[in-house]
Amino acid sequence: MPAHDVAVVGAGPAGSTAAYRLARAGARVLLLDKARFPRDKPCGGGVTLRAARLLPFSIEPVVEDVIDRVDCRLDFGPHFSRHAHAPLAFMTQRKRLDHFLLERAAEAGAEVRQGVTVDARELDAEFVIGADGCNGTSAKQLGLAGDVVHGVALEANFPRDERYARTMTLEIASVPGGYGWIFPKGDHVNVGVGGWASEGPRLRAHLRRMCEAYGIDPESATETRGYRLPMRRGGPLVRGNAAVIGDAAGLVDPFSGDGMYEAFLSAKLVAEAVLAGDLLSYAAAVERSITPLTRAGWGAKQAFDRFPRTTFALARMPFTWRAVEKLLRGELSHPGAARGVEKGAIRLIDAVSRVAA
Ligand SMILES: Cc1cc2nc3c(=O)[nH]c(=O)nc-3n(C[C@H](O)[C@H](O)[C@H](O)COP(=O)(O)OP(=O)(O)OC[C@H]3O[C@@H](n4cnc5c(N)ncnc54)[C@H](O)[C@@H]3O)c2cc1C
């Protein structure tokens, strides 16, 4: 009999929440990470309400700001702001969030080993889950490296600035294939830029421009770091008794660059499949629950890339905002599920994306 029912490689949001769910259900779970926690991960740390709602516990102890306003500008030009009637996202720092999630997994009964690297093929477990992010090795080792396109992002922290409190500030299309952001945290703001991988050499200049445009002193930057964003176009997610989840599976939204919702959801889906003894059903569940969102993300990315002004004009329409608000809050599974006038707005953006493609 294998030493563990499930071995999970990587204890980020995907791995720790998968381990939590499986251990809570009574499985003997081994959760491994090459790092020792608390460790940081380059990330805006924005957990949409949609993502937070997926968790079986509250992340309130590590929330540093609550977002109910979005400020959106098109390439340092036209601008609109929207207020929501309820929270849209929680701002966290990954160092604290990931440690918190790891502790929940350990409390649930998962055996946690930190500071170790392993070959995913040699683990003594009935099921193996690769959750070691976009720079991990498990996907390749398990024969599950899919068709993944990489974006790049650069971010840094700056002194807290009350102008950005409770607000998600987005500078759309300021970077080809991406955008810039300002996210408020407890004692600082996180400013970042991301886009196509080819923008890598220009990201420092993009970040400086973003700071200058928003009255933030670029020289006050601390913890400047870059990282990749894996965006899946296809490929296997399951082979034999092994599966990949989260960034290891390339499940980052191509438009927003968010991946925590997908990490939490793929963790939930893989745990359900393992507990049902039918790992193959995980791949089908991802296609059903995550792929429509990924497809819409690719569409929005293409539309903004090719026709930024038209797409921005559509995005600022009140009906589009209503759909976006519902998406962020998890009240709409994907843009294609919109109804009524909101559906009309989404259809227009979809039409632009098809022309762009
Ligand atoms: C700059 C930037 C900003 C972002 N901002 C946001 C945001 O605001 N909101 C959002 O939702 N998403 C955001 N994302 C995406 C988000 O960070 C990822 O989608 C998310 O971290 C995926 O979680 P994960 O658990 O799959 O992988 P990770 O968080 O990468 O965790 C992987 C874990 O595996 C471990 N590991 C790696 N290799 C090995 C190995 N060989 N053996 C054992 N362990 C290993 C690592 O130490 C790590 O702990 C951002 C990404 C970037 C780059």
pLDDT beyond 90 at 346: no
Residue 249 Cα, ligand 1 centroid: separation in angstroms?
11
The yes-or-no verdict on residue 357 having pLDDT over 90 is: no
Query: Which pLDDT value is given to residue 139?
Result: 97
pLDDT value for 268: 98
Tell me how far apart the alpha carbons of residues 352 and 349 are, in angstroms, rounded to a whole number.
5
> Could you tell me the pLDDT band of residue 348, with boundaries at 50, 70 and 90?
confident
Q: Which atom of ligand 1 is nearest to the CA of 45?
A: 8
Range in 95-104, 245-254, 265-274, 314-323 with the lowest mean pLDDT: 314-323
Give yes or no for residue 34 CB within 6 A of ligand 1. Answer: yes
Over residues 206-215, the mean pLDDT reads 97
Is the whole model's pTM more than 0.75, yes or no? yes
Mutate-to-test residue for ligand 1 from 96, 247, 286, highest number of ligand atoms within 8 A of CB? 247
Fold match, 4-65+91-148+230-289 / 150-228: no
Model pLDDT for residues 147-166, shown as the tens digit of each residue: 999 999 999 999 999 999 99
Domain spans in the chain, listed from the N-terminal domain onward: 4-65+91-148+230-289, 150-228, 295-356
Is the shortest distance between the CB of 299 and ligand 1 below 6 Å? no
User: pLDDT band for position 355 (50/70/90)?
Assistant: confident
Cα of 85 vs centre of ligand 1, distance in Å, is: 30
For ligand 1, say whether the CB of 35 is within 6 Å of any of its atoms.
yes
pLDDT tens for each residue of 39-62: 999 999 999 999 999 999 999 999
CB of 253 shorter than 6 A to ligand 1: no
**Given this model, what pLDDT does residue 127 score?**
98
Asked if residue 252 has its Cβ within 6 Å of ligand 1, the reply is yes
For residue 33, report the distance from its CA to the centre of ligand 1, in Å: 12
User: Which ligand 1 atom is at minimum distance from the Cα of 32?
Assistant: 43
pLDDT of residue 145: 87
Q: For ligand 1, what atom is nearest to the CA of residue 228?
A: 53
State whether CATH 3.50.50.60 applies to domain 4-65+91-148+230-289.
yes
Binding site membership of 136 for ligand 1 (Cβ less than 6 Å): yes
pLDDT above 90 for 191: yes
pLDDT digits (tens, 9 = 90+) for 114-154: 999 999 999 999 999 999 999 999 999 999 988 999 999 99
The rounded Å distance from CA 177 to ligand 1 centre is 20
- CATH of the domain spanning 150-228, picked from 3.40.50.2300, 3.40.50.1400, 1.10.150.120, 3.30.9.10: 3.30.9.10
Average pLDDT over residues 206-219: 97
The response to whether residue 153 sits with its C-beta less than 6 Å from ligand 1 reads: yes
- Res 335: pLDDT: 83
Confidence of residue 256 (pLDDT cuts 50, 70, 90): very high
pLDDT tens profile 1-29: 899 999 999 999 999 999 999 999 999 99
Q: Minimal CA–CA distance to 345: which of 357, 72, 332, 175?
A: 332
Is the shortest distance between the CB of 239 and ligand 1 below 6 Å?
A: no
Span from the CA of 228 to the centroid of ligand 1 (angstroms): 9
Quick one: pLDDT at residue 234? 92
Backbone angles phi, psi at 170, to 5 degrees: -125, 130
pLDDT band of residue 337 (cuts 50, 70, 90) is confident
179 lines ligand 1 (CB under 6 A): no
**What is the average pLDDT value for the chain, to the nearest integer?**
95
